[in-house]
Amino acid sequence: MNCDVLLTNAVILTMDERFTMHRSGAVAIRGDSIIAVGPVALSYEGAETIDCQHRVVMPGLINAHTHVPMSLLRGLADDLRLDVWLMGYMMPVEREFVSPDFVRLGTRLGCAEMIRSGVTCFADMYYFEEAVAEATAEAGMRALCAQTVLRFPTPDAKSYEESLALARAFIEKWRGHALIVPGPAPHAPYTCTPDILRACAELAIEFDVPLHTHLAETVQEVEDSRRVHGMPVVPWVKKQGLLDAKVLAAHCVHVDEGEMRQLKNLNAGVAHNPTSNLKLGAGIAPVTRMRELGLHVGIGTDGPASNNDLDMFEELRLAALLAKGTTSDPTALPAREALTMATRLGACAMHMDHLTGSLEPGKRADLIIIDVDTLHNVPSFDRDPNALYARIVYASKSTDVVDVMCNGRWLMRDRQLLTLDETELRGAAQHEARRVDAFLSGRELSVLQKLVAVGGAVEQESFEVQVKARVPSDAQVLSVVRSKKVTLVRSSHYHQYDTYWSFEDPEQGWLRYREDEFLDEAGNVTNARSRLTLTGRTREEEFGAVLLFRSRYYAPATHSTRFYREYFRPSAEHVIEKDRRRWLLVYRGVEFYVHLDRLLKPASDGYFIELKSRTWSRRDAEDKAGVITELLALFGTSPDDTISDGYVDLVAGGSRR
């Protein structure tokens, strides 16, 4: 009987369900598939026969979760918190640079690295997934390619409807491909809406393809889910119908016993990403318990921007070590189990185990040949068959991989890549890095540019005359506001928490993070909002104590103070808390905002009044400055009692000049 390739004299780890191992066996390959494994394969005559003395033949490793094109963002920003890393660096750079060409190059770079380290199959999630699929197929690797869907605009879609349509077209086109399994990727519960989760699940079910997502990665995500939805992450996504699809869920770091059982019962696969979870401080997934419950847990590297490599040998070793360390049990996750997670179980988690993951007749020929005769892997003890698994998991390195075959095609022979040009890839990747560097360096020049980059800064194109002054008591102010001298339009009351940040370069001005709590008559909080204001050195002119300011920048504050502190890295911070009564009133035909403030932190005696009016010209400003001076007198104060620029100068003990 003939076959195309016959591997002989090898130690064969089939990684099948019975963990069949052949001490000196053979593997016969015809076309894209394995046709025989073990002594029986020796009856075949190969067109190509390879002697595998001192080598191990085993299934190609399976990287169960990654974002391959992010290889181009490797090392861009490290040692940051997840939100600062993601929203502050990754997403702004992705918005600017990610295109089909970028994705294609990143995929080819990632594939080259993975082939070198013995990976034949991976689960991807990114933008322009079609470009990932094309580049992967060209490189000859197998992959689950999942098109990202998010509730906000992405590099490849202006809306989630558009990205869903993209996902549908992509799946329709690529379904049935020899190497690529297409699917939808609702990014995560916290970046999607219930509608998106449901629509993605329906799409995956309609075409019978896997669905790739992130679940329960951080404590924050779980706490938010409990607070907003009244339940943890897994039951919530189940309620949205997500788990009706064939799900591959990355992370699952913070899941409880009930959630693990739920995932198991609904046949969801889990991708364990130990390096990424450790590096981003997310925690350690309870994989030992998941495996006890029979969950299909694979191992993934996650994107190379959070790892920072795609080395599955490192990843599976870390998975084994962490399981022991966290359970104080050296018998937890033994080597054979860890290697299974990086092969057959990874394929199960990706719902692709009918194709790959073990060396069995009928499965595709996805395999690697490893040199185990290296200095760091001798001697060998043959007494215990499990010793070989331990050698692979605890001592082998990705550089020991000599040959790689996927779908019956050689991708690497004798450590030479056959489908990709490494020199060219290195050069092209460096070129991309220079462009990203230039973009980020430009942005780092100003607080405003960083504010714009993180999203939503609006320039308020207006002039404003204003003054702040001490008033001896609130009584006179209140009596004026209630008197016939002014017309009261509107009033409100709130508690304000202001965090002011300044920077090494005073030209950058002050950045203020303000949280307003609206209070009702009884002083109860009825509503809250937060926003960022960048106040530059925008003072235009002075009319006595009254100042004319021009346009400041506002942005809705969608993140925590901690996020902005870590993102903007100010050189100083001042916190001011105050009680503010606010009125909109008309005096001598001019509309004014009047603020009556009492400083609570740092505590200060007496009250402050702030008067403000919009204006459209210098001439108008001058007139209003005159009216403001009159109003100050009405409120029992005068230009002599004004304070220069604001409370922050009072507490910071200096002027911003």
- What residues make contact with Zn ion under the rule CB under 5 A? 302
Closest CA to 67 of 153, 146, 139, 181: 146
Q: And the tokens for 562?
A: 């901690």
Identify the DSSP state of 254. S
Supply the minimum distance, in Å, between the C-beta of residue 106 and Zn ion: 14
Peptide bond into 210 cis (omega under 30): no
Q: Which residue has the tokens 């104590």?
A: 545
- HSE (side-chain half, CA atoms, 13 Å) at 647: 27
The whole-angstrom separation of Cα 591 and Cα 611 is 10
Supply the minimum distance, in Å, between the C-beta of residue 67 and Zn ion: 6
Residue pair 190/217 in contact (Cβ under 8 Å)? The answer is: no
Instruction: State which amino acid sits at residue 446.
Output: S
Q: And the tokens for 365?
A: 């020929």
Q: 187 vs 351, which CB is nearer to Zn ion? A: 187
Cα end-to-end distance, the chain, whole Å: 89
Supply the minimum distance, in Å, between the C-beta of residue 98 and Zn ion: 15
Q: 302 vs 366, which CB is nearer to Zn ion? A: 302
Q: DSSP readout, 508-561?
A: G-EEEEEEEEEE-TTS-EEEEEEEEEEE-S-EEEEETTEEEEE--EEEE--S-H
Strands 21-30 and 33-37 come out as antiparallel
Q: 113 vs 302, which CB is nearer to Zn ion? A: 302
Supply the minimum distance, in Å, between the C-beta of residue 138 and Zn ion: 24
The whole-angstrom separation of Cα 628 and Cα 610 is 10
The Cα angle at residue 329 between residues 325 and 333, in degrees rounded to 5: 80
Residue showing the smallest CB distance to Zn ion in the complex: 302
Residues in contact with 642: Cβ distance below 8 Å, sequence separation at least 6, in sequence order: 467, 468, 469, 545, 632
Q: 301 vs 499, which CB is nearer to Zn ion? A: 301
Segment holding 608, helix H or strand E: strand 607-615
Instruction: State which amino acid sits at residue 143.
Output: A
Q: 25 vs 304, which CB is nearer to Zn ion? A: 304
Report helix, strand or coil for 372: coil
Q: 166 vs 252, which CB is nearer to Zn ion? A: 252
The Cα angle at residue 562 between residues 557 and 566, in degrees rounded to 5: 100
Instruction: State which amino acid sits at residue 189.
Output: P
